[in-house]
Amino acid sequence: MTSELEAKINVTVEVHYLKQESNPMANSYAYAYTVTINNNSDRWCQLLNRHWIITDAEGRTEEVQGEGVVGEQPKLDSGEMFRYSSYAVIETPIGSMHGHYEFQDKKGSRFLVPIPAFSLSQTSILH
């Protein structure tokens, strides 16, 4: 039952380079990201925890774990969506992020929903 539910929670991410918050001379590159979580299942669930792995181009990783997202533990009914924005700072112009969210259904069963890997990069570098 849980694997069916986790497969129906969709996570998408949009990334934007924050030029005004970055300082390339100090090896500091800031990226804003907006996450959209869609509950495409027929059940209620709540996001309890997050786990991010942030990796720069030199292979340095940082793990971020904690309760909820942006101070919230959103509850999503069937068909509902939750969107939030946050940011990450890395030491190279290119990096990536991935991880998972831990959810709980109404019966108290917990399950993990993967956050697919996405790139942190300045658009001009990729073109």
Which helix (H) or strand (E) segment holds residue 3: the answer is helix 2-7
Q: Would you say residue 100 lies in a domain?
A: yes
Give residue-wise pLDDT tens across range 78-117.
999 999 999 999 999 999 999 999 999 999 999 999 999 9
Q: Would you say residue 127 lies in a domain?
A: no
Q: Would you say residue 36 lies in a domain?
A: yes
pLDDT at 89: 97
Q: Tell me how many domains the chain contains.
A: 1
Q: Would you say residue 124 lies in a domain?
A: no
Q: Give the residue from 66, 70, 61, 3 showing the smallest Cα distance to 37.
A: 70
Q: Would you say residue 15 lies in a domain?
A: yes
Tell me the three state secondary structure of residue 25.
helix
Domain span at residue 6 reads: 2-118
Taking residues 42-71, what's their average pLDDT? 97
Q: Would you say residue 69 lies in a domain?
A: yes
Write the secondary structure of the chain as one string of H (helix), E (strand) and C (coil).
Answer: CHHHHHHCEEEEEEEEECHHHCEHHHCEEEEEEEEEEEECCCCCEEEEEEEEEEEECCCCEEEEEEECECCECCEECCCCEEEEEEEEEECCCEEEEEEEEEEEECCCCEEEEEEEEEEEECHHHHC
CATH number of 83's domain: 2.60.40.1470
Q: What is the spatial distance between Cα 7 and Cα 70, in angstroms, rounded to a whole number?
A: 24
Q: What is the mean pLDDT of the chain?
A: 93
Give residue-wise pLDDT tens across range 115-125.
999 999 987 44
Cα dihedral 11, 16, 17, 22, rounded to 10, equals: -80
Report CA 76 to chain centroid distance, whole Å.
Answer: 17
